[in-house]
Structure 1
Amino acid sequence: MIRRAALRALTAAAVTAFLALPLAQGTPATAATATAATTINADDDNPFRWMELDGLRADFQFMCPAGHCTGFWSLVLTDDVARQKFEGRKFFVYAPATGEFSFFLDTDIAVRTVDHPGQVRLVDTDFMRSHPRVEVRYGDPEHPDQARVVASATTLM
């Protein structure tokens, strides 16, 4: 259990460091042009293609730190879920089988909770592969069993 928590903390730190590197170097990350998207077949590397997604969809994005474009996959809320009314609570990632939490990628920072549906972006594939079901919940993270399940990702065996 401690080993798994340490691995998740290390994963969060690595993702944050990777995405923050261009900012630390003083070079802002910018979105890639549409022509860059046509040269890379993003579907071949989708780490979520073997998952059953409910309320989530795989999203491929580019970041171009210092002019070197890098693509990455994440899970975001589907449009119909994101349009629902959410007020006064937090979104968080939860594995109901173990009671463990993961993180979202908010711009270039790994965070445990976010306020708005547009900020829901899951990138922790190790967490999702190590849990048969991961849920995006909305409510109080201190009481996850009382929070509303708004989306889920289930690993297909």
Structure 2
Amino acid sequence: MAVAAASLGLVLAQGAQAAEAPTPANPASACQTPASPFKGAKLDGFKAEMRINFPAHPCPIYVWVLRLDEERLGRRYSGGEFFLYDPVNKEKFGGFLSGDIMTSTVSRPEYVSVSQDNVLPAGRTEVRYGNPGHPAVARVVATVTRG
């Protein structure tokens, strides 16, 4: 019994020392939150949002996306799909970010999530709604213009 009490005393003493030991610097404190890549861009129908991927990682991965604003989300849409369109080259391109999956079209306005990689580096990028097979006649829902 004396050996057990001595062992318990040693464990408690070690626990007290561990509790008093300084904790290493929080690695997350060194993480940087990136500035919006959409700063300076003209947004019409969009709002820029920062999303956090892998929040349990010491340094979370931040992703900036464009989402439809409240007014666009409140509109009625039926019979078509949302897609990205380059009005200069008159072609459908890119896609929407759904988690870590890219999809070329989405059917609901709340699924419109455009990553910075799917916005043209200069000029105008459009989100259109309608038949992706006939993009020229689809309705323009939102635009972002850079440069």
User: So what's the TM-score if we normalise by structure 2?
Assistant: 0.71
Please state if 1:77 is matched with 2:68: yes
Kindly state the Cα deviation for residue 121 of structure 1 after the two structures are TM-superposed.
0.4
1:122 to 92, 95, 114: 114
Q: 1:109 to 1:54 in 2, by over 3 A?
A: same
- What is aligned with 2:49? 59
Q: CA RMSD in A?
A: 2.0
Do 1:89 and 1:140's aligned partners in 2 also have CA atoms closer than 8 Å? Answer: yes
Kindly state the Cα deviation for residue 126 of structure 1 after the two structures are TM-superposed.
6.0
Count of aligned residue pairs for this structure pair: 115
- What is aligned with 1:106? 98
Q: 1:40 to 1:89 in 2, by over 3 A?
A: farther
Kindly state the Cα deviation for residue 107 of structure 1 after the two structures are TM-superposed.
2.4
Do 1:96 and 1:134's aligned partners in 2 also have CA atoms closer than 8 Å? Answer: yes
Partner of 2:37, secondary structure, is coil
Do 1:96 and 1:135's aligned partners in 2 also have CA atoms closer than 8 Å? Answer: yes
Larger Cα-atom Rg: 2
Q: Tell me how far apart the structure 1 counterparts of residues 85 and 118 of structure 2 sit (CA, whole Å).
A: 14
Do 1:103 and 1:124's aligned partners in 2 also have CA atoms closer than 8 Å? Answer: no
- What is aligned with 1:147? 138
Alignment deviations for residues 98-147 of structure 1 (CA, whole Å, 9 cap, x no partner): 12312100222101000000100001436421x40000000011101110
- Structure 2 unmatched ranges of 5 or more: 1-29
User: So what's the TM-score if we normalise by structure 1?
Assistant: 0.67
Partner of 1:142, secondary structure, is coil
- Structure 1 unmatched ranges of 5 or more: 1-38
Q: Tell me how far apart the structure 1 counterparts of residues 67 and 120 of structure 2 sit (CA, whole Å).
A: 14
Structure with more helix by fraction? 1
- What is aligned with 1:49? 39
Q: Tell me how far apart the structure 2 counterparts of residues 70 and 119 of structure 1 sit (CA, whole Å).
A: 21
In the TM superposition, structure 1's runs of 4+ consecutive aligned residues that sit over 4 Å from their partners are 39-42
Please state if 1:136 is matched with 2:120: no
2:88 to 74, 94, 97: 97
